[in-house]
Chains A and B, each alone.
Chain A
């Protein structure tokens, strides 16, 4: 088997990245004087970024075949559709 010579992504570097992003989130949430909506948007971007890092590198999605990536992503549009649709109940 050729597994022994496989190259791994830089896990510790990703970990550092995640720690920094978490610190950024905390700073954003409590220190920075910006509007609530801006805060929400930026925090969501940071959270999704961290989640993507975990999915791509720790769960190795980046190195899997494209159809496994699609399989993994399929539930997300459904989730978005549901949440957005139900949210419209309060805007009419």
Chain B
């Protein structure tokens, strides 16, 4: 079952057949299609619930910390750049540079998750739970004095934790996959300019996760 990996990499040729993507790449794009629909369910629910909410929605910046998450957004975008630099490095025949950039990506990704965990802890401490605002907490006081709307905080907590939680879960899976490929293949020099499919495919997944966060950050934190 061996086939020559001719033209497996690089831009499509003029005589290309079909989608001109090798199996793993096509498979990853197909899988990302399903991921779009998954996040549609979660993010769509947020949009639908917020649009039809029985009262005002909390204004941005009061419950959630914008400075930390803005930095986190920047971090994730940087990790996307480092990922594509890693891809470019091996495409241009530089496996050592690939390893450097891949490690940068893994570290940035792990930091993103770490900061999110910290953010979650902080929010829970302040009183935001998946079920809404905890009694007697700091946020409960804001509800009491009218800074936060009482009618929608239940939805706020539910949608926030579900959307960002599953995004964080996807980031974590990405970090673990990259770490696995880094240790078992990149560090052992198994990627060559002729065959770096694993790098490209995990890169596609990573960029997708970044893309989802770009949308999430805007509509959850800024709107």
Contact = CB atoms under 8 A, between A and B. Distances in A.
- Contact, chains A and B (beta carbon distance below 8 A): yes
B92 interface: yes
B48 A79 contact: no
A72 B33 contact: yes
B36 A30 contact: no
Contact of B92 (A4, A43, A76): A4
A39 to B, nearest CB: 7
A1 B194 contact: yes
Interface in A33-71: 39-40, 43-44, 46-48, 50-51, 54-55, 57-59, 63-65, 67-68, 71
Contacts of A3: 9-10, 91, 93, 193-194
Interface size class of A (residues with CB under 8 A): 35 or more
B60 interface: yes
Nearest to A57: B84
B105 to A, nearest CB: 12
Nearest to A59: B207
Contact of B33 (A54, A74, A86, A90): A74
B19 A75 contact: no
A15 B77 contact: yes
B40 A79 contact: yes
B29 interface: yes
Most chain A CB within a 10 A radius of its CB, from B21, B84, B88, B193:
B84
A15 B74 CA distance: 10
Nearest to B205: A59
Contacts of A12: 81
Contacts of B165: none
B81 A65 contact: no
A54 B214 contact: yes
A89 B19 CA distance: 40
B60 A30 contact: yes
Most chain A CB within a 10 A radius of its CB, from B7, B81, B194:
B81
Given A2-B10, A47-B214, A72-B29, A26 B222 contact: yes
Interface string B173-215: 0000000000000000000011000000001100110110011
B30 interface: yes
Given A29-B223, A87-B51, A89-B52, 17 more contacts: A1-B7, A11-B81, A15-B78, A22-B74, A22-B77, A40-B223, A51-B214, A54-B210, A64-B19, A65-B12, A65-B20, A67-B18, A75-B33, A79-B40, A79-B44, A83-B47, A87-B52
28 contacts: A1-B10, A3-B9, A3-B93, A4-B91, A11-B88, A18-B77, A22-B77, A26-B70, A39-B223, A46-B218, A57-B84, A58-B81, A58-B83, A58-B84, A58-B203, A59-B207, A59-B208, A64-B12, A65-B16, A65-B20, A68-B19, A71-B30, A71-B33, A72-B29, A75-B37, A83-B44, A83-B48, A87-B51
Nearest 6 interchain pairs by C-beta: A90-B52, A47-B218, A79-B40, A29-B222, A75-B36, A83-B44
